[in-house]
Amino acid sequence: MAHIDENPLGIGLPLDPLPGHSSLGRLERVLRRGEFAVTAELNPPDSANPEDVYERAAIFSGWVDGINAVDASGANCHMSSVGICALLTRMGYAPIMQISCRDRNRIAIQGDVLGAAAMGVCNVLCLTGDGVQVGDQPGAKPVFDLDSMSLLETVRTMRDHARFLSGRKLTSPPKVFLGAAINPFAPPYDFRPHRLAKKIEAGAQFVQSQYCYDVPMFREYMQRVRDLGLHEKCFILVGVGPLASARAARWMRSNVPGVHIPDAVIERIEGAADQKKEGKQLCIDIINEVKEIEGISGIHVMAYRQEEYVAEIVHDSGVLRGRQPWKHEVGRSDALVVERLGHIRQGKEEHQQEMVEAAAHLPQPKAH
């Protein structure tokens, strides 16, 4: 099926989403088409150099359906997610912008959602965020004005009702695909499926899970999710990632909030001659197990500082088999930028005085 990528009334105008879709993004299309989605996490640079972002995104180019731009994950300061997303969309990548409630209040967040959507961001992942105490600046003020649930509702209100939380109207609502996070591996275990139901009620259309290293536990969770019928209301992506070594696994278990790694997994890696290789193999094995679980729509690969192995893991697990080829779409305002850049590249001399005179004598727009 051919998709129309430009508004016939003008290239600068917003394009209507496909029937039943809330965004223009690739991730939503892939998921709705029933293909197994792959998303990955970009390691945010500690620099002001855009090339660092381009370089880190290039390794995911083409075969990843969404690149997560983290919002100071673990309360460690990095380049902002809005900034990363702006750079990624500029290069034609499809980012998933993470928003955490730890650092910004509702005023800042709503502004960022509009800004990001204007930059071409199609996916927003709503998170509560880690506490400030785990990060590099534990003296910071934790904001938590909204929580992940009310954040979802806020963005959904902006998208579906074209209004801010205050009720003030938006002239052009942000067309975004809404995501949330789940952690089936933390107590209270009985509450977790109900919490997913709450998130769906608040507007979540897809969810990405915390690192899954305990497949039996995840199966049990999914059983209860299916009993509640939630897998039909929301796309569930399982979080996976390679463990670099048994030592790294132990460190993660005790220092990263919400990560559950069973002893058996650590023992398996510890017993291997090449721990790094075994870590990758373990990740592939987990992907192969979880992709067969009913109600799983994709994987989310988080390979912190091992991003170069993500391609190998995805390839070896064969989750992209049978994929339809994909064509890059020209963004709706890209043509304007190209035109403008063309003018700039010509390097014409500009005489300010003449230009201001011309501008001053432009026909005044009529007051409405």
Partner 1 sequence: MVDAVHKTDATTPIAKTAGNSTTPDNASPNRRTGRKYAVRLWVVRHSRFFEWFYGRFASAFLLLHPFWKFVGYQRAERPVAFVERHVKGLLFDCRMCGQCVLSSTGMSCPMNCPKQLRNGPCGGVRADGNCEVEPDMPCVWVQAWKGAGNMVHGDAILTVQEPVNQSLRGTSSWLRVTAAAAAARSAAKEKA
163 contributes a contact to partner 1 by CB under 8 A: no
From candidates 115, 131, 250, 252, binder to partner 1 by CB under 8 A: 131
DSSP 282-310: HHHHHHHHHTTSTTEEEEEE--TT-GGGH
Sequence-ordered list of residues with C-beta below 8 angstroms from that of 199, at least 6 positions apart, any chain? 148, 149, 152, 180, 182, 207, 234
CA distance 182 to 172: 30
Name the residue nearer to partner 1 (CB basis): 11 or 143: 143
Taking the complex as a whole, how short is the minimal distance between the CB of residue 190 and partner 1, in angstroms? 7
CA distance 92 to 256: 32
Name the residue nearer to partner 1 (CB basis): 37 or 132: 132
Locus of tokens 């977790």: 192
Contact window for partner 1 (CB under 8 A) among 140-148, 277-285, 303-311, 349-357: 140-148
Residue whose C-alpha is closest to residue 245's, from 237, 253, 256, 235: 253
Q: Kindly state the tokens that stand for 330.
A: 């020209």
Interaction residues for partner 1, span 173-202 (CB under 8 A): 181-183, 186-188, 190-191, 194-195, 197-198, 201-202
Sequence-ordered list of residues with C-beta below 8 angstroms from that of 218, at least 6 positions apart, any chain? 184, 185, 209, 212, 238, 290, 293
Residue whose C-alpha is closest to residue 194's, from 217, 228, 159: 228
H helices, E strands: number in the chain: 13, 8
Burial per residue of 312-327, b for 16 or more beta-carbon CB atoms within 10 angstroms, e otherwise? ebbeebebeeeeeeee
129 contributes a contact to partner 1 by CB under 8 A: yes
Q: Kindly state the tokens that stand for 85.
A: 């997303």
**φ/ψ (deg, to 5) at 298:** 175, 180
Name the residue nearer to partner 1 (CB basis): 189 or 326: 189
CA triple 150-154-156, angle to 5 deg: 115
The interface mask with partner 1, positions 85-104, x = CB under 8 A, is ----------------xx--
Name the residue nearer to partner 1 (CB basis): 130 or 278: 130
Contact window for partner 1 (CB under 8 A) among 40-48, 128-136, 216-224, 355-363: 128-136
The interface mask with partner 1, positions 196-235, x = CB under 8 A, is -xx--xx-------x-------------------------
Name the residue nearer to partner 1 (CB basis): 20 or 187: 187
Taking the complex as a whole, how short is the minimal distance between the CB of residue 359 and partner 1, in angstroms? 43
Contact window for partner 1 (CB under 8 A) among 19-27, 129-137, 266-274, 275-283: 129-137
Contact window for partner 1 (CB under 8 A) among 3-11, 60-68, 139-147, 274-282: 139-147
76 contributes a contact to partner 1 by CB under 8 A: no
Interaction residues for partner 1, span 2-21 (CB under 8 A): none
Sequence-ordered list of residues with C-beta below 8 angstroms from that of 57, at least 6 positions apart, any chain? 42, 67, 88, 91, 93
Interaction residues for partner 1, span 248-277 (CB under 8 A): 257-258, 260
What residues form DSSP beta bridges with 68? Answer: 41, 96
Contact window for partner 1 (CB under 8 A) among 61-69, 125-133, 213-221, 354-362: 125-133
Name the residue nearer to partner 1 (CB basis): 256 or 272: 256
Name the residue nearer to partner 1 (CB basis): 188 or 347: 188
Residue whose C-alpha is closest to residue 119's, from 333, 294, 289, 269: 333
- Cβ neighbours of 163 (radius 10 Å): 14
Contact window for partner 1 (CB under 8 A) among 145-153, 219-227, 302-310, 321-329: 145-153
Binding site for partner 1 (CB under 8 A): 101-102, 106, 128-134, 136-139, 142, 144-150, 153-154, 165, 181-183, 186-188, 190-191, 194-195, 197-198, 201-202, 210, 257-258, 260
